[in-house]
Amino acid sequence: MRYELYYWPSIQGRGEFVRLALEDAGADYVDVARRPKGMQAMMHLMESRSVKKRPFAPPFLRAGELIIAQTAMILHWLAPRLGLAPKSEAARLWLHQQQLTISDWLVEVHDTHHPIGSGLYYEEQKPQARRRAQDFRENRLPKYMDYFERLERGKTLSYVELSLFQMIEGLRYAFPRAMRALEPEYPRLVALHDRVMERPRLAAYLRSKRRIAFNQQGIFRRYPELDGR
């Protein structure tokens, strides 16, 4: 099966969580919007009235006739097919529940630089971003880190661990100072991050041009004024 991934071509964003699973599994996939005319194809699927099960927003995945959106749901559907999740329903639900909590976490990361409106520029909401980022660093970030640090993990790696790797990577990019201060309290998450990064296919991907660099248009952005002191 050749999968088609649809996501904004210039940022890691939410698409990256799906990309990491596809890459780690060595799956056959096309990153549609990064190809010629790919953006048109993506916008068509989102806007055309002829598409019955239209996604609200990217990322979405096309697998044969099926078009599925919502990052956590894509992974819930895809990962057992990639060998990145068990097939038992209870185990799959537990992974999905964790991934949905990661999605909530990611929204809060985004809102540190866009507390007032996602359609406005960062420069239009800087003082508010500073306050929201402070609340995030001091309250929300440790709450999520505590939660995932203490959870028991299965013996075999799943897509949830790939996503936790990406969260740590992104948080280190966006909040290097805050993360340096926090990380000593989260040895299991740090070890998990390192273990994921050493997986051969993932390591090759991270070195490749397919991995878009973090940048100031993505969800994780480095604004030193949001990183505290």
Residue with Cβ nearer a copy of itself (91 or 206): 91
d(CA 145, CA 216): 24
Q: Give the nearest distance from C-beta 201 to a copy of itself in angstroms.
A: 27
Q: Which is nearer to a copy of itself, 7 or 214 (CB)?
A: 7
**Residue 15 vs 214, nearer CB to a copy of itself:** 15
Q: Which is nearer to a copy of itself, 35 or 131 (CB)?
A: 131
For residue 103, which of 140, 74, 72, 78 has the smallest C-alpha distance?
72
Residue 31 backbone zone (phi > 0: left; psi -120 to 50: alpha; other: beta): beta
Work out the number of other CB atoms within 10 angstroms of the CB of residue 149.
16
Q: Which of 55, 56, 92 is nearest to 77 (CA)?
A: 92
In the complex, least distance from residue 218 CB atom to a copy of itself, rounded to whole angstroms: 18
Q: Which residues contact 122 (CB under 8 A, 6 or more apart)?
A: 113, 114, 129, 221, 223
CB of 34 or CB of 125, closer to a copy of itself:
125
Q: How far is the CB of 98 from a copy of itself (least distance, A)?
A: 9
Containing 31, the helix (H) or strand (E) segment is strand 29-31
120 or 181: whose CB is closer to a copy of itself?
120
Binding site for a copy of itself (CB under 8 A): 49, 52-56, 66, 68-70, 72-73, 77, 90, 93-94, 96-97, 100-101, 104, 107, 111, 115-120, 125, 128, 131-132, 135, 139-140, 144, 147, 150-152
Q: How far is the CB of 152 from a copy of itself (least distance, A)?
A: 6
**Minimum CB–partner distance for residue 31 and a copy of itself (Å):** 21
Q: CB within 8 A of 209, min separation 6: which ones?
A: none
Contact 197, 165 (CB under 8 A): yes
In whole angstroms, the minimum distance from the beta carbon of 203 to a copy of itself comes to: 30
Closest CA to 182 of 115, 151, 174, 216: 174
CB of 135 to a copy of itself, least distance (A): 4
Using alpha carbons, select from 39, 198, 13, 222 the residue that is nearest to residue 107.
13
Residue closer to a copy of itself (CB basis): 14 or 221: 14
